[in-house]
Structure 1
Amino acid sequence: MTLPSHARVVIIGGGISGCSVAYHLAKAGWTDIVLLERKRLTSGTTWHAAGLIGQLRGSLNMTRLAKYSADLYVRLEAETGISTGMRQNGSITVALTPERHEEILRQAGLARAFDVDVSEISPSDVKALYPHLNVDDVVGAVHLPHDGQCDPANIAMALAKGARMMGAAIHEGVKVTRVLDNGARVTGVEYDAGGGESAVIACEHVVNCGGMWGRDLAATSGVTLPLHAAEHFYLVTEPIQDLTRLPVLRVPDECAYYKEDAGKMMLGAFEPKAKPWGMAGIPEDFEFDSLPEDFEHFEPILGMAMHRMPMFERAGIHTFFNGPESFTPDDRYYLGEAPELGNYWVAAGYNSIGIVSSGGAGMALAHWMTEGAPPFDLWEVDIRRAQPFQRNRKYLAERVSETLGLLYADHFPYRQVETARGVRRSPLHEHLKARGAVFGEVAGWERANWFAREGQERAYRYAWGRQNWFDNQRAEHMAVRERVGLFDMSSFGKIRVEGRDACAFLQRLCANQIDVEAGRLVYTQMLNQSGGIESDLTVTRLTETAFLLVVPAATLQRDLAWLRRHLSDDFAVITDVTAGESVLCLMGPQARDVLSRVTPDALDNDAFPFGTAREIELGYGLARAHRVSYVGELGWELYVSADQSAHVFEALMDAAPEIKLCGLHTLDSCRIEKAFRHFGHDITDEDHVLEAGLGFAVKTGKGEFIGRDAVLRKREAGLERRMVQFLLRDPERLAYHNEPIYRDGALVGTVTSGNYGHFLGGPVAMGYLPCKGQSVAEMLSARFEIDIAGQRIPAQASLAPFYDPKGARMKL
């Protein structure tokens, strides 16, 4: 076997993911594509996958990728001559509880919004479609007629053949030992040439599609790829007489899925407590292998299946299979360019949905690589969301024991993970815990989400309606609106940019005017060439040559990568200083009075206007106070050195016992009343900054910056849609995310984010409405409804915030 000495791209891993990337890069016109597989194609996870094709995912863009996969698999056979086994026999999901029924009804509304054929069906309808099923305790169900199933190994082989037909080279039995780089970007791969020798293929791009091997390979290049293998079980019966073709069946309340294939029945499980595997690494000779049986572990699932489908009491077991699959800490796969190393790309960690995902993921990654940007917003699977600490193998092993089961758990809003917690804590963590904090986790940070009353259970009781902390949130919310509240926002990402060219560098990246006097704070976005929002942040000029950028905790790695990618020849240094300072947000109409009790510094509007930062004395310490607000009230963000944080907190609480401690749920309910946007939901890299209603933060007159031309083009052409705030008329029906929006009975969009507006007295939602050729009056003079679990709730729409539309309260 002769391998080339150079290639444009080397793809590592010959499962369905790697084969899809090779196919789509070739389809896009790239040549010199080399795929290297350590053993044989499909020999890791692909060969034993169940092959379920469910087109509805949790968001529009993930659904677009899944639908693309289904369409691709249908046409691959004609293109390559290899049968894919793809048949669209439909799927049914049944609910055994009212809570699950609400979930699947919400999913049905989502499906209609995403143009996926769906219908709600009764238990008797389920029985007609699935005669073998016991429906005595079924509450309801949904049917998706165009879902289906396929032969995963054959699809991978068809993709590989298609790639070869277009010129890609695929080599089996070649193990990549490391990826080479020059400190900034990849330069090649080293592989085992046999006989103790190694060889190199020089290349411009590498794609890690290594599945459960991918994490350790990435680590050798300093790339964070947090995934871990877990055991995944299913059984296949002996042939069952007169068994006809059936839809795929999911019974998530019993952690089970069912698939008929060639007259046999498969039963698979997503058990609540899974078994991590491969903690010491994947065995070198692992190929088309299974893991030891553990029937005791699977027995509870089979017991429920015998009740659900009595044929399992009589059918013999042909195969009981246990095979490893890769899972990630948040049940979402990884796609995109690694932030640590240029041209190191990733497509891995598919959480048991690799077959339905890989077709679309390969298309999206190929577009990203060839065009320089993804085809649409892919933040939820972007590798840049991964946190460096998540490489820790003990953390991953514990977390994936939970995430496998979460795939079929109730997907309640605000659901918190329970494993591998407490990794990152604010210096105030124990202070808040002692005062009733109930914590959630974002990017590893433990953050107070709400505060329990004395004697109240400090735990979530999940529901689709008002949860057990609803009244706690109301008390916190109204304290911020009427008196004063204190938030610990130490998890904010903090990036220091400094040096001779720091100002010019940020001027080029940010849409707002950054060249302001020291002590000024600027709200801005960093845009891409299409005018989409890559980052939403504040920039504070500390000195002539030093700036502090404050970003959401979840986007820190993304924002650092964006900055470093564009640094070029600028004389500037970018430093993550997140852990160095705590942030205490003192907010509410009494904030000035409270703060004046612990500082001798002037806080009036003349001495300390809105949008400025000053160093002030606090207790016995020093802090940098930023006068800014994400809740729409008078307030300051107090940036305090981590070693002084506890003292400043104590000084504030001692001086003003009336301060109400508030959590992140209240921060969100306050910001949505004020119609402040939330990155990742309301604004993403495919949302134009003008259509998002953020044109006030764009200064085209300052000179060139990334996205300026797109802003000017949009101003000339006019907006096609606008961000709108909604107030729902029914105070009991809550919107969270992705609920369909109807205008005069026509579907026009989906909710981007929602929460309860306690001051306004009802649920509040955000979303985009089409507006091309319409005046504001024409756009809003309509009958609006939000679909919540099949019930359309009347809603009032507004372009201006319902709360304090002129923003006067922040400048009191």
Structure 2
Amino acid sequence: MANEFPGTAKAVVIGGGIVGCSTAYHLAKLGWTDTVLLEQNKLTSGTTFHAAGLVGQLRSSANITEMLGYSVDLYTRLEEETGLATGWKMHGGLRLACNEERWEEVKRQATTAHSFGLDMQLLTPKEAQDLWPIMTIDDVVGAAFLPTDGQANPSDITQALARGARMAGTRIFEDTKVKDLVVENGKIKSVITNRGIIECEVVVCCAGQWTREFSRRFGVNVPLVSMQHQYLITDTIDEVPRNLPTLRDPDRLTYYKEEVGGLVMGGYEPNPIPWATDGIPEDFHFSLLDSDFDHFEPMMELALGRVPALQTAGIKELVNGPESFTPDGNFIIGEAPELANFFVGAGFNAFGIAAGGGAGMALAEWIDKGEPPYDLWGADIRRFGHTHFDTDWVRTRTVEAYGKHYTMAWPNEEHGSGRPNRTSPLYERLKEQGACFGEKMGWERPNWFADISAGEVAEDVYSFNRQNWFSAVAREHAAVRQTAALFDQTSFAKFSLKGPDAEAALSWIAANNVAKPVGSLIYTQMLNDRGGIECDLTCARIMENEYYIVTGTGFVTHDFDWIRRNIPADCDAVLEDVSPSYAVLSLMGPNARKILQSVSSSDVSDTAFKFGTWQEIEVSGAAVRALRITYVGELGWELHIPIEAAAKVYDRLLSAGREWGLLNAGYRTIESCRLEKGYRAWGSDIGPDHTPFEAGLDWAVKLKGNVDFKGRKALEAQKTTGMKKKLACFTVDDEDIVLLGRETIYRNGERVGWLSSGGYGHTIGKSIGIGYVRHPGGVDDDFILNGSYELDVAQKRVTCNVHIKPLYDPTSGRVKG
């Protein structure tokens, strides 16, 4: 009966690669024993069987690093549990640096590793050669070694996960093609296969490079494309030890691992080749592409300079296997915003073996508990939007991301491909005035403005030191603090929540009190059941039955999905994305009122137009929603303008503002100003793992009243038990120190956390960092202030000062050191 094809299941996992088998394994471990895994051919026959099998752990996100660390823990014990060999070898991983800039990057990576609790050791070239004796080190400046990295046999480890899943009750069916899903009223009803129909509650699509096209049939957007990826397998090389660590040589774009006494050598060429641009061929399984020796030759030349033994080694095979890659180089996980109970785990960018164990765990937890085990925003499927439905755009950007896999990871680096894509009505005007644009969610956004008259060029020059836009941002920052600045923030996400029960619905979802009079502005978080911050946004009450909600550009899909899913079933309220209808100009600075008053007949005095309110005012004949709010810590308004009137209003403001020193300004100035004011940024300083109390945002929570809201119980519990971490601000007196985020925080010599944000405050004239101070025994303001602090910056301990209040106070003109 165990092999009888089922008519029902609680969950159906599509795809028998490492991620699908890991998900099924972990679901079964969580009690989802009525899970079925379907594979269209044989287990591992998609891309898993030809994966190189390197397992590295360090990423720029603490939680994704933790997830990869879980993979290592799982692979270490899986063979004993299942009785199947996995090929797991924990021989460590080496990363080389062959110039001073790369060495700076590696030192910062080591600091990040230590922040996240990994033992990454910095080595001299000779120490690295002792671990990897067959390489030359003439050009090596230094190296980093992570002892807990390793390698695995992808097929073996997948078969072990499959056996573990079967042992826990999962049924696995090979040679079973999923032909369709039955979806009724937005809910999955069943899976149609070539062997029959399975009624189910949940579908998990872990179909690798097939995932995008399959999911798209049901309106689900999974931005990935197939890319050719080649690596070489040699015959046995006498000099190769069996305990050789994996090796990454990013300056030569290559990686290595030992395999049965020989080497696997591959890399990431700057001119990658997309595959299956017209679709994946039918019956493509256990299949490889033709070896492309001409394309691989430049990689081989780079490798020969590092490993001379390759010159005489026999070549077993040049493997050319297509794998799925994504536009930002990170994988895609989570419940699809377009279809309830449809989960995705795909797009692993050639580190699916490293991520497989942890990704399966995270997906299973997400399915079982309705949320991931911790914040996985960097990999969350909701980080994508409408731009990413365009396969041509996705492919163009993914080619660039693939080509940058081993290039320098510069701070503030922008991608250049597929641009411009989405532009505000002011794009050409701003470009003519010296705007240097960045891109987010497909939108072109001015990061800073070059002074063209002074010969400045609107182009980023990247460095780990102060970058070329530093003085331009200082100029814009001074305008914000002393005169006025104008920011184009048209890319903001804007929603309308309407209906008789709009107030009741938003009161349940929002942590702050939104039951305020028409004309009110409410800054609020939206919390999960653990009290963690899922959204951080502003609500304007337009009418008794309507709210206008504004959130960050990159959070449009995530926040819309969160709000829509959490509108109570008995509330008559409808959420609509109105982002394309409004341009946004933010007018900020001490002279903002004078400028606005000069172009509008409406009274914008402090008496008539108070902070935390909105009004409709007239500017150049346009009806403008003016929101009196700030993210830079100065007097100002966000002006939400009908898109067709944006250029006219901008021209009028710019012309009128010359008298009061108005300058164009960009997002890097916003970042500098908000750090001085201690404003939090979702996705770095706050998120699902942080409560408002921990983030110092308890003033924005309506606990004093008796109105219930999502997350309230968790906050009440935390108020009783206390906090284990709390956000604090740090400043460094040494002007040469550049803070970027993820620097390690030491209190009285003990590691207590890391910076979530880093930058420079041009008014206070110091580098600023924000991060959580952690302590198992509890953290409060006294604990934070009664400590002596240092930051580890690129493996250098730097004395710093700690603060719990904003560094800059515009009301008194006070600047704190």
Q: Same fold (TM over 0.5)?
A: yes
CA deviation map 1:5-50 (0-9, x unaligned): 1110010111000000000000111122111111111111100111
Q: Paired residue for 1:463?
A: 463
Q: Give, in whole Å, the separation in 1 of the partners of 2:282 and 2:751.
A: 53
Deviation at 1:718, TM superposition (A): 2.1
Moved more, 599-608 or 312-321: 312-321
Q: Paired residue for 2:206?
A: 209
Q: Paired residue for 2:241?
A: 244
Deviation at 1:347, TM superposition (A): 0.7
In structure 1, give the amino acid aligned to 2:809: D
Retained in 1: the 8 A contact 2:11–2:36?
A: yes
Q: Paired residue for 2:695?
A: 692
Q: Paired residue for 1:799?
A: 804
Retained in 2: the 8 A contact 1:53–1:147?
A: yes
Closer, same or farther in 2 for the Cα pair 1:807/1:721, shift >3 Å?
Answer: farther
Deviation at 1:775, TM superposition (A): 5.7
Moved more, 221-230 or 404-413: 404-413
Deviation at 1:81, TM superposition (A): 1.2
Q: Paired residue for 2:555?
A: 555
Deviating 4+ runs (over 6 angstroms): 805-809
Retained in 2: the 8 A contact 1:501–1:570?
A: yes
Q: Give, in whole Å, the separation in 1 of the partners of 2:562 and 2:282.
A: 37
Retained in 2: the 8 A contact 1:473–1:665?
A: yes
In structure 2, give the amino acid aligned to 1:697: A
Moved more, 42-51 or 232-241: 232-241
Closer, same or farther in 2 for the Cα pair 1:162/1:499, shift >3 Å?
Answer: same
Residue correspondence of structure 1 range 99-178 to structure 2 within 5 A: 99-178=101-180
The answer to whether the aligner puts 1:576 opposite 2:577 as a matched pair is yes
In structure 2, give the amino acid aligned to 1:576: D
Deviation at 1:273, TM superposition (A): 2.3
SS of equivalent to 1:680: coil
Retained in 2: the 8 A contact 1:178–1:190?
A: yes
Aligned-residue CA RMSD in angstroms? 1.5
Q: Paired residue for 2:215?
A: 218
Q: Paired residue for 1:402?
A: 400
Q: Give, in whole Å, the separation in 1 of the partners of 2:134 and 2:251.
A: 18
Sequence identity percentage: 44
Q: Paired residue for 1:510?
A: 510
Q: Return 5+ residue gaps in structure 2 as ranges.
A: none
Closer, same or farther in 2 for the Cα pair 1:778/1:336, shift >3 Å?
Answer: closer
The answer to whether the aligner puts 1:234 opposite 2:231 as a matched pair is yes
Q: Paired residue for 2:77?
A: 75
Q: Paired residue for 2:184?
A: 182
Q: Return 5+ residue gaps in structure 1 as ranges.
A: 194-198
Deviation at 1:601, TM superposition (A): 1.2
Closer, same or farther in 2 for the Cα pair 1:806/1:692, shift >3 Å?
Answer: farther
Deviation at 1:706, TM superposition (A): 0.6
Q: Paired residue for 1:196?
A: none
Retained in 2: the 8 A contact 1:585–1:636?
A: yes
TM-score under structure 2 normalisation?
A: 0.97
Deviation at 1:456, TM superposition (A): 2.4
The answer to whether the aligner puts 1:663 opposite 2:666 as a matched pair is yes
Q: Give, in whole Å, the separation in 1 of the partners of 2:542 and 2:479.
A: 32
Deviation at 1:806, TM superposition (A): 7.0
The answer to whether the aligner puts 1:484 opposite 2:484 as a matched pair is yes
CA deviation map 1:116-138 (0-9, x unaligned): 12210001111222221111111
Retained in 2: the 8 A contact 1:178–1:221?
A: no
Which of 407, 412, 415 pairs up with 1:414?
Answer: 412
In structure 2, give the amino acid aligned to 1:730: D
Moved more, 277-286 or 53-62: 53-62
Deviation at 1:805, TM superposition (A): 8.0
In structure 1, give the amino acid aligned to 2:686: I
SS of equivalent to 2:72: helix
Q: Paired residue for 2:373?
A: 375
Moved more, 108-117 or 168-177: 108-117
In structure 1, give the amino acid aligned to 2:290: P
Q: Paired residue for 2:744?
A: 740
TM-score under structure 1 normalisation?
A: 0.97
Closer, same or farther in 2 for the Cα pair 1:773/1:143, shift >3 Å?
Answer: closer
Retained in 2: the 8 A contact 1:94–1:138?
A: yes
Q: Paired residue for 1:776?
A: 781
SS of equivalent to 1:99: helix
Retained in 2: the 8 A contact 1:729–1:793?
A: no
Deviation at 1:458, TM superposition (A): 2.4
Q: Give, in whole Å, the separation in 1 of the partners of 2:25 and 2:217.
A: 27
In structure 1, give the amino acid aligned to 2:499: G
SS of equivalent to 2:543: coil
Residue correspondence of structure 1 range 318-717 to structure 2 within 5 A: 318-454=316-452, 455-567=455-567, 568-657=569-658, 658-702=661-705, 703-717=707-721
Retained in 1: the 8 A contact 2:449–2:666?
A: yes
SS of equivalent to 2:599: coil
Q: Give, in whole Å, the separation in 2 of the partners of 1:361 and 1:773.
A: 31
Retained in 2: the 8 A contact 1:735–1:764?
A: yes
In structure 1, give the amino acid aligned to 2:619: L
Deviation at 1:2, TM superposition (A): 4.3
Retained in 2: the 8 A contact 1:234–1:268?
A: yes
Q: Give, in whole Å, the separation in 2 of the partners of 1:419 and 1:372.
A: 36
Retained in 1: the 8 A contact 2:726–2:779?
A: no
Residue correspondence of structure 1 range 257-276 to structure 2 within 5 A: 257-276=255-274
SS of equivalent to 2:275: coil
Closer, same or farther in 2 for the Cα pair 1:2/1:717, shift >3 Å?
Answer: closer
Retained in 2: the 8 A contact 1:16–1:42?
A: yes
CA deviation map 1:498-522 (0-9, x unaligned): 1100000000111111011111101
Residue correspondence of structure 1 range 16-27 to structure 2 within 5 A: 16-27=18-29
Q: Give, in whole Å, the separation in 2 of the partners of 1:806 and 1:634.
A: 9
In structure 2, give the amino acid aligned to 1:251: D
Retained in 2: the 8 A contact 1:177–1:217?
A: no
Deviation at 1:276, TM superposition (A): 1.1
Q: Give, in whole Å, the separation in 1 of the partners of 2:185 and 2:98.
A: 55
Deviation at 1:341, TM superposition (A): 0.8
Q: Give, in whole Å, the separation in 2 of the partners of 1:794 and 1:722.
A: 20
CA deviation map 1:460-499 (0-9, x unaligned): 1111111111111111111111110010111111010011
Q: Give, in whole Å, the separation in 2 of the partners of 1:619 and 1:775.
A: 51
In structure 2, give the amino acid aligned to 1:381: A
Which of 53, 57, 60 pairs up with 2:62?
Answer: 60
In structure 1, give the amino acid aligned to 2:226: A
Deviation at 1:303, TM superposition (A): 0.7
Retained in 2: the 8 A contact 1:7–1:201?
A: yes
Deviation at 1:807, TM superposition (A): 8.6
SS of equivalent to 1:542: strand
Q: Give, in whole Å, the separation in 2 of the partners of 1:773 and 1:177.
A: 54
Closer, same or farther in 2 for the Cα pair 1:632/1:312, shift >3 Å?
Answer: same
Q: Paired residue for 1:753?
A: 757
Deviation at 1:290, TM superposition (A): 1.0
Q: Give, in whole Å, the separation in 2 of the partners of 1:372 and 1:144.
A: 34
Q: Give, in whole Å, the separation in 2 of the partners of 1:115 and 1:708.
A: 32
Moved more, 178-187 or 507-516: 178-187
Q: Give, in whole Å, the separation in 1 of the partners of 2:480 and 2:360.
A: 47
Retained in 2: the 8 A contact 1:186–1:203?
A: yes
Q: Give, in whole Å, the separation in 2 of the partners of 1:312 and 1:751.
A: 43
Retained in 2: the 8 A contact 1:208–1:347?
A: yes
Q: Give, in whole Å, the separation in 1 of the partners of 2:782 and 2:380.
A: 38
Q: Give, in whole Å, the separation in 2 of the partners of 1:805 and 1:56.
A: 40
In structure 1, give the amino acid aligned to 2:730: F
Q: Give, in whole Å, the separation in 2 of the partners of 1:359 and 1:805.
A: 50
Q: Paired residue for 1:86?
A: 88
In structure 1, give the amino acid aligned to 2:784: M
